[in-house]
Amino acid sequence: MSRRAFILGGTGQIGLAVADALLAAGWTVTLSHRGAHPPPDALVARGARVVEVDRDSPRDLRWGLGPGADALIDTTAYDQEHGRQLQSVQGSVGSFVVISSASVYRDRLGRTLDEAPETGFPELPDPIPETHPTVDPGPATYSTRKIALERYLLDEITAPVTILRPCAVHGVGSRHPREWWFVKRILDHRRAIPLAYRGTSRFHTSAAANIAALTRIAIETPGRRVLNIGDPVAPSVAEIAALIAQHLGYDGRIVEVDEPGYPPSVGRTPWSLPRPFVLDCRAASDLGYVPATTYADAVRPVCDWLVATAGDGDWKERFPVLAAYKRDLFDYGVEERFFRRATTMVRGR
Ligand SMILES: NC(=O)c1ccc[n+]([C@@H]2O[C@H](COP(=O)([O-])OP(=O)(O)OC[C@H]3O[C@@H](n4cnc5c(N)ncnc54)[C@H](OP(=O)(O)O)[C@@H]3O)[C@@H](O)[C@H]2O)c1
């Protein structure tokens, strides 16, 4: 009998990629979600079962799991309570893979990625190993809640648990497609696109397909571990810009801007950071993980999907996580003023 996987949050970008990888490897797959976004017909045609489960409704998960699963993959766990919920079903689960986040790392001054605009950007090793200190667990922030979840899982669950720490996740169907920052500018016929830090920033990208490849290895060799997961090469913002521009045939200018401050006032892409934030992924490789894709290959279908769906209503509703950034991602007025000033300065010399 084929092995059974149950994916909590199965219709998101990570869940769909995991379903694809596991079906291809002969697993029987159940996708669960609240029902907001139906899975692609093609996945259902390949045998994926779909159940409606709201993980925040106490009895749903146990009901959805039915007789149990050899592996439960949770893409939608955010706090200790979610860890407790997984513990409550561990008797009917062979092993767990739970998605955490690379945002949990802190520097020696306690500074983190997400709080950097207020506290200053952290000084972290390049690359960051899993053993690097993290924030303390607690209710304060997304990252402290993720660490509370991680600790609970490792301390309280007796079944094998793999915790994955991805970085800037990308894939078709994302509700947080950072690539939209470039694609919308290109569709809006912007003649020049500025890149802060001269485009040298490296914020490690994590393809959903690579997270899925590591998930498969983790459930096929169950254990207790925390693993970083990033793409084989962490591209710079200039490389990301060039890949997207080339794929979409953009003939405007990509302008590298020298701006040392943080946060920068112009050309601040969703990957623009003053120092690298790159993950050490050797532990995943040691386990036998082989990347399924590279950023260069994975970004093309993401661009095609973004272009094909660009007219489908308000992007802020389709990409709620991107829309929740605390800044206007498309403040073209700032860019125009910057380019006007730059032109005046050149003329004035
Ligand atoms: N995006 C990033 O750059 C990034 C970076 C690091 C870590 N992460 C982590 O990646 C995970 C997000 O994965 P993703 O990008 O695949 O998410 P996603 O595309 O937003 O998908 C979320 C999935 O969870 C389902 N879902 C949401 N709330 C649910 C609930 N209460 N009960 C059951 N299902 C629920 C959604 O379907 P319905 O809406 O139909 O329920 C959907 O299937 C999170 O754990 C996040 O912390 C993301």
Which residues fall within 8 angstroms of residue 336, CB to CB, at 6 or more apart? Answer: none
Helix residue spans in the chain (DSSP H): 13-24, 41-45, 60-65, 80-88, 116-119, 142-156, 180-187, 208-220, 237-247, 282-286, 295-308, 315-318, 320-323, 332-348
β-bridge partners, 112:
106
Q: What is the pLDDT of residue 348?
A: 47
The residue whose CA has the least distance to atom 37 of ligand 1 is: 33
Residue 44's pLDDT is 96
CA of 337 to the centre of ligand 1 (A): 37
Tally of structural domains, the chain: 1
Cα gap 207→168, rounded to integer Å: 8
Please indicate, yes or no, if residue 123 is contained in any of the structural domains.
Answer: yes
Q: Which ligand 1 atom sits closest to the C-alpha of 74?
A: 45
pLDDT at 130: 98
Tokens of 142: 């997304």
For residue 261, what pLDDT is reported?
Answer: 86
Q: Which residues of 19-54 are buried (b: 16+ CB within 10 A; e: fewer)?
A: bbbbbeeebbbbbbbeeeeebbeebeeeebebbebe
Kindly give the number of the ligand 1 atom that is closest to the alpha carbon of 16: 16
Residue 113 is part of which domain span? 77-348
Instruction: Look at residue 35 and tell me if it is in a domain.
Output: no
Which element (helix H / strand E) includes 120? none
Q: Are strands 4-8 and 28-33 parallel, antiparallel or unpaired?
A: parallel
For residue 166 and ligand 1, the question of a CB distance below 6 A is answered with yes
Query: Residue 326's domain is classified under what CATH number?
Result: 3.40.50.720
The verdict on the CB of residue 93 being under 6 Å from ligand 1 is: no
* Residue 64 in contact with ligand 1 by CB distance below 6 A: no
- pLDDT per residue, tens digit, the chain (349 aa), is 789 999 999 999 999 999 999 999 999 999 999 998 889 999 999 999 999 999 999 788 999 999 999 999 999 999 999 999 999 999 999 999 999 999 999 999 999 999 998 899 999 999 999 999 999 999 999 999 999 999 999 999 999 999 999 999 999 999 999 999 999 999 999 999 999 999 999 999 999 999 999 999 999 999 999 999 999 999 999 999 999 999 999 999 999 999 778 999 999 999 999 999 999 999 999 999 999 999 999 999 999 999 999 999 999 999 999 999 999 999 999 999 999 988 765 554 4
Q: Answer whether residue 241 is part of any domain.
A: yes
Instruction: Tell me if 48 is assigned to some domain.
Output: no
Among 34, 178, 211, which is best to mutate for testing ligand 1, by the most ligand atoms less than 8 A from CB? 34
Closest ligand 1 atom, residue 169 Cα: 3
Residue with tokens 């569709």: 187
CA of 76 to the centre of ligand 1 (A): 5
- 89's CB contacts (< 8 A; 6+ apart) are 61, 62, 65, 72
Q: Kindly state whether residue 6 falls inside one of the protein's structural domains.
A: no
Q: Is the CB of 38 under 6 A from ligand 1?
A: no
Q: Residue 53's pLDDT is what?
A: 95
pTM over the 0.85 mark: yes
Q: Cβ(53) to ligand 1 under 6 A?
A: yes
Question: Which residue minimizes the CA distance to atom 26 of ligand 1?
Answer: 9
The span from the CA of 182 to the CA of 149, in Å, is: 34
